[in-house]
A and B are shown apart, each in its own frame.
Chain A
């Protein structure tokens, strides 16, 4: 039933573990199909956020349309939709997958399958995608493609007989991948005669064009002048422009069933566009919307405050702008005695949180103070009331609490077998419950653990990497909530509780954590005019105490004619440092103090 036109379309994405060469392969595909000349080609075209390039990761999904003349003499239209690899961005991955018929699975010939690859492969299978395996980095001396082929068959259960063996870096066998896409990835099978049905898989706000919706047309056609309707809220708009990504937006006349592109309709309010929504023709609507996406669940929360209270409105504007393109970012106003007005913000995970913070500071030039991340706890009060608490300040008094629950995740860790002991030790320290372990070949194992989410949002990933020399990979999904003995740990400076430093911790860990934080704060709080006692307390009970000694001397002994300019610079620097401080009661706190609660070594 696929039209002849659609037989020449391939919509696909690439899934891979970080560093396995997804972006490099995407670049080669773009290069080979000649969308842009080699000279114009900036490395890794699809990662166009500065941050993505620096960190070598893809955060926002990007899309590009390629044309490829295959060996059968036919011209094919490829829509390559990039996917983020990191576990935090599972939601974004599922969005790109829904716009595709197939996926290239890239596996590093020297590393084999990693946890992320597996997680994304499962997602792709859930979305009924055809998978086409590609083994990358065969140029490296340590490459073992035969081993990896076997692993693909054993672990994923995918026939690897036709896997392409390539080196994206050196451009080896890229043709074969392009041919493989034609051969193994199915063409779309929509009906252009039917009423319009298009999936919005991403959106972007442009100050000239308004909201730009990234869409995959399933059935029908979409062209300028048409009146389109959003199925979720019934809002209608006149289509102003449609086009494709090459990789920049390239206006066209029409988008037809099976195609990927964008549409603009002078939509001013981003909230009127819902990623996952279905667009249809207002004159001739389809009867049923596409299934859409599951709602994003924010797993990690933290308070974000402007370092300078005057920046509150700027921070809100910045968060709103980021939210336009990042449906997973949640925020609502909150106030803190220590930090003033700010926002409680929800994220997919710790990396997502760090990226948002960096983007706020970098792209919006904001100076931020963030509090330690928290998860959502369930508090069941003695009066039967059930609360969700993501801000420790909102935790009721202990006598009002009947019991509490905390989120538990199912964690999958892949590792060379020699590190199994170290990982078990780590998971045990983090209150993990061992479920099972499978051996792949002889060299690698998959460990399954149940872990409390609040044990992994701080530094679990770093600890895992350092204990396994970077060889282990890790993925997790939320399992549900379990009853847990949790307490609120307060930090007092100079006798006053600093609300922004409080956090919720398991009872058994409160003592060690409290002591570690007090010690850490002692190091990060600069000495001030008076002595500052630091106390960690659970309820009324002080569990740790440290002291920051009073500053006795801060003076420039010499200041003559030649010194003035230099001394002025020194004092200006000191002033800058002071500006980055928060006055909390009588104490000046550096911003890193608020994050110090999570950067503890164990």
Chain B
């Protein structure tokens, strides 16, 4: 038996945001029933071959809440026997896509953590990135979630948005922190190729905060949130004590996980592999009785070491030298000693109490660190 994490992908959205490069599709919710059926079948395929138990479950998207909650419930019911006691079960949702009824249903079916995509507090900023809700809707949804019994809630925010000022960002942080969610994710906007926002930027029709402003917003985030009792535990994540997202820690600790659904990635038995992205292709494949895996790669010992190192370094806690040595029967120093020393001299890394971690400057330039260790 293996105790791992499980990711479920729901690739539907009411409206695709301008910055979004995820595997999501607007206006295809009518395919949801067939899609969920395929996902159940995919679960069976793995059940027949592996003995997997789940410590964490994460239902992501897309927007899982745009399909009927009954469809999610079927999946949760089927999963029940494989869930370990006390498993964290998270689901993403967007403001305005939930009701009292649906939230109660989600809570009852075993979902115990919600992640709400707010992104920004200001109406204009939201509109400019293609979000269809406003702050008021968010507050309402948040309140309903609390009322339905969700005592573990994350709010997703973004900074360095077009037209965003330092003041707007601080206003957003404070407004959300006042509401008191257990967890916040704060991402610097990244213009991904192929997104509408990227195209707009290419045409020169966007005014984006420059690198200096981006960093000012980033540095102020940890500072402001600390005042509300949140500590930063990953490059973009902040939580109250004991409320870090267990599912995401599976990734950052480079542990095993299974991903079901279109475009989902898995790490299992020394391999990373991923499913077909297109929902119909994915479903068709599962319906025909085969694994919907598009491709994959084996991970060598050296690659695995590097992945372990770079993922752990994303965490404020850093890379535990003891854990590394236990895992690979080789010390961190023996593998990365010289490189770590070089990065220490540059002021990007520090070594303390058996952990190697990024400095504040290292968090701004973490790619330089990861590339050096490669």
Contacts and interface: CB of A to CB of B under 8 A. Distances in A.
A555 interface: yes
Given A562-B264, A565-B272, A575 B374 contact: yes
Given A565-B297, A572-B374, 18 more contacts: A529-B365, A552-B215, A553-B214, A554-B364, A554-B367, A555-B363, A555-B366, A559-B235, A559-B311, A561-B250, A561-B257, A562-B259, A562-B263, A562-B264, A564-B251, A564-B307, A565-B274, A571-B371
Nearest to A555: B366
Interface in A483-534: 529
B190 A561 contact: no
Contacts of A558: 187, 190, 236
Interface of A is mostly: loop
B239 to A, nearest CB: 16
B251 A529 contact: no
Contact of A553 (B215, B250, B307): B215
A560 interface: yes
B229 to A, nearest CB: 23
A564 B265 contact: yes
Interface string A368-387: 00000000000000000000
Nearest to B314: A559
Given A529-B346, A574-B371, A578-B371, A552 B212 contact: yes
A67 to B, nearest CB: 57
A397 interface: no
Interface of B: 5, 7, 187-188, 190, 211-212, 214-215, 218, 235-236, 248, 250-252, 257, 259, 263-267, 272, 274, 297, 307, 310-311, 314, 346, 348, 363-368, 370-371, 374
Interface in A561-589: 561-562, 564-565, 568, 571-572, 574-575, 578
Contacts of A574: 367, 371
Contacts of A1: none
Contacts of B371: 571, 574-575, 578
Interface in A529-547: 529
A499 B245 CA distance: 53
Contacts of B188: 553, 555, 557
A554 B215 CA distance: 11
A572 B274 CA distance: 19
A554 B272 contact: no
A565 B251 CA distance: 12
A556 interface: yes
Given A561-B251, A564-B265, A555 B364 contact: yes
Nearest to A566: B265
**Interface centre among B266, B272, B274, B365, by most A CB within 10 Å?**
B365
Contacts of B235: 555-557, 559
Contact of B367 (A552, A556, A560): A556
A551 B210 CA distance: 12
Contacts, number: 86
A-B pairs, top 9 by smallest CB distance, nearest first, are: A562-B265, A554-B367, A557-B187, A557-B188, A552-B211, A561-B251, A575-B371, A555-B366, A575-B374
A578 B346 CA distance: 17
Interface of A: 529, 551-562, 564-565, 568, 571-572, 574-575, 578
A557 B236 contact: yes
Contacts of B346: 529
A557 B236 CA distance: 6
Contact of B248 (A560, A565, A568, A571): A560
Contacts of A559: 235, 251-252, 311, 314
Contacts of B248: 560
Contacts of A565: 265, 272, 274, 297
B259 A561 contact: yes
5 contacts: A557-B187, A559-B311, A562-B264, A564-B272, A571-B374
A578 to B, nearest CB: 6
A88 to B, nearest CB: 41
A529 B364 CA distance: 10
Contacts of A561: 5, 7, 250-251, 257, 259, 265-267
B190 A554 contact: no
Contacts of B7: 561-562
**Interface centre among B187, B211, B214, B370, by most A CB within 10 Å?**
B370
Contacts of B364: 552-555
A555 B219 CA distance: 13
Contacts of A555: 188, 235, 363-367
**Interface centre among B257, B264, B371, by most A CB within 10 Å?**
B371
A554 B235 CA distance: 12
A536 B200 CA distance: 38
Contacts of A560: 248, 251
Contact of B365 (A554, A562, A564, A572): A554
A564 B263 contact: no
B41 to A, nearest CB: 21
Contacts of B266: 561
A554 B212 CA distance: 12
**Interface centre among A553, A554, A555, by most B CB within 10 Å?**
A555
Nearest to A558: B187
Nearest to A573: B371
Nearest to A561: B251
A358 B370 CA distance: 33
Contacts of B250: 561
A564 B257 contact: no
Contacts of A553: 188, 211, 214-215, 218, 364-365
A60 B348 CA distance: 53
Contacts of B212: 552
B374 A554 contact: no
B258 to A, nearest CB: 10
Contacts of A578: 371
Given A552-B215, A571-B371, A557 B259 contact: no
Contacts of B365: 529, 551, 553-555
Nearest to B189: A557
A58 to B, nearest CB: 42
B363 to A, nearest CB: 7
A553 B366 CA distance: 8
Contacts of A552: 211-212, 214-215, 364
Contact of B190 (A529, A557, A564, A575): A557
Contacts of A571: 310, 367, 370-371, 374
A177 B314 CA distance: 75
A491 to B, nearest CB: 24
Contacts of B259: 561-562
B248 to A, nearest CB: 6
B311 A564 contact: yes
A558 B265 CA distance: 15
Contacts of A556: 190, 235, 366-367
Contacts of A554: 364-368
A575 B307 CA distance: 15
A557 B264 CA distance: 20
B275 to A, nearest CB: 10
A389 to B, nearest CB: 38
B369 to A, nearest CB: 9
B245 to A, nearest CB: 10
B220 to A, nearest CB: 14
B285 to A, nearest CB: 18
A560 B368 CA distance: 19
A209 B240 CA distance: 78
A559 B307 CA distance: 12
A578 B370 CA distance: 12
A559 B187 CA distance: 11
A578 B371 CA distance: 9
B55 to A, nearest CB: 14
Contacts of A572: 374
A564 B365 CA distance: 18
A421 B357 CA distance: 66
A559 B250 CA distance: 12
Nearest to A551: B365
**Interface centre among B214, B251, B311, by most A CB within 10 Å?**
B251
